[in-house]
Structures are given as C-alpha cells and as structure tokens.
Amino acid sequence: MNSIAGGGTLLTFPALVGLGVPALTANATSTVALVPGSISAYLGYREVLGGSGDWAVRFALPSLLGGLCGALLLLVTPPERFDAVVPWLVLGATMLFIVQRPVMRALRGRQAPAAGATDPIDRPPPASMLVYQFLVAVYGGYFGAGIGILMLAALGFMGFTNIHRMNGLKAVGGTSANVIAALTFAVSGRVHWPLAGAMMLGAVVGGYGGSRLAQRVPQERVRQAIIVIGLAAGAWLLQTRRG
C-alpha cells in the first residue's frame, strides 16, 4: 500500500491498538516499523528518478524538518485532537488527485500529453511547493495516514504526469519524514521494540516488492488504485471516529 499510494498506517496503527498498545506508543511503533519499507520502496523507484536529482534533494529537506516538527508535536499533544481532521485531509487529498488531470487539461486547453513528457524536472520546485511539503511532513511525523496521497495530489497539480516518477518523489519525501520521526520516537522511548521488529520484516518485503510491481502495471491502473485506497482510507477513518 505504501509503495503505491500510502496508507499503510491504516493497517499497522489499528492492529497495534487492537493488541492493547496505547495510542501514542502504537503511533510511534508504527512509524518506526514502516521506515525499512519506506527505504526499500525508495530503492525500488530510484531508476525512474533519473534527472530528478534537484527535485529529490529539495523535496527531502522540508520533509526532514517537517517530520521532526510533527514527531515533537505528537509527543507533547494528545493524539485525539488531530484525529478529528485526519479523515477530511485524506478524503480531500483524494478528491484533488481525482480532479487534477481534468483541471490541468482545461487549463492547458488541450489533451494531456504522453506520460512523462511534461514533467517539470528541468526547473526547481517553487517555494510554495516546498512550504506545502513541509506542512505535509509535519502531518506525516504526527500520524501519516494518507501522506502519500497528499504529495501525489500536489505533484499532479505541479504538472507531473508520470505516475512512477511521482511515486519516486513521494518515496523521497515520505522516507525523509518517516526516518526523522522514527529517530525522534526512538530517542523518546515511546517505541514497543519487539512489535516494531516483527513488523519491519513485512515492511521491507512489501515496500520493495510493491514498488517494483507498481512499475509493471499500466499507469491508469495505478491511479485507480490510489483513488480506491484514498477513498477507503477516508471512509475507514470517518467510521472509526464516529465509533
């Protein structure tokens, strides 16, 4: 799930809570457990990031800073306060991803070009994109469900059309935010290490395998999977909140 569109937290976090782990510890443990999967997913996408080095570096810096801020915020505030807005963030980002292609077509006044033909990797990302990525990373360090969808939606509106390159940049941003947040949680002593270790193995296999599999699926199918995962994640979060 994380390799294609994110949302792995929606499986790991409730599973840990179901085992009786306190919510804050479950969140920290889930973040640490998914870090190897994030790194392996990035390795799986590194080939499609050719020529995108400047974007990747500039994407990583606000992600690191935002992930740190989000992790520290989680450690000093009750998670319940943020839970109320999580479903709307995920659903809203999914809606953006659904409409971004027709909106961009309307703005350009013509059909979208072939995948990858107009990816804006020949110019640096604008400052507004970096600020947005910082805010997304803050959310990622705090909880993280749907962070991939938030990044994909923004990349789509920036003019990217190659879903695989978008997933590669998403992996860069997500990995950066997750790694710094995981280190923060580890230092804080909030991680349940036996459970985290058990989950890491599946995260590594799933992260790399999912990234390679996604690149062998038609791009439209990957987009459809992202939309389905986003809508399902938002609905699940809403139902959980109401329950």
Q: What is the pTM of this model?
A: 0.74
Residue 179: other Cβ atoms inside 10 A:
19
* Tokens of residue 107, six digits: 């703005």
pLDDT tens profile 95-105: 877 876 776 56
* Tokens of residue 108, six digits: 């350009």
Tens-of-pLDDT digits for all 243 residues of the chain?
666 655 667 677 777 877 888 878 888 998 898 888 778 777 777 777 777 778 888 889 999 999 999 999 989 877 677 677 777 877 887 787 787 677 656 645 544 455 445 677 878 888 998 999 999 999 889 887 767 778 887 887 777 878 778 888 888 998 899 999 999 999 998 899 999 998 888 877 777 777 677 667 676 777 787 788 778 877 877 887 666
Q: How far apart are CA 75 and CA 66, in angstroms?
A: 14
Is residue 147 within 8 A of residue 70, CB to CB? The reply is no
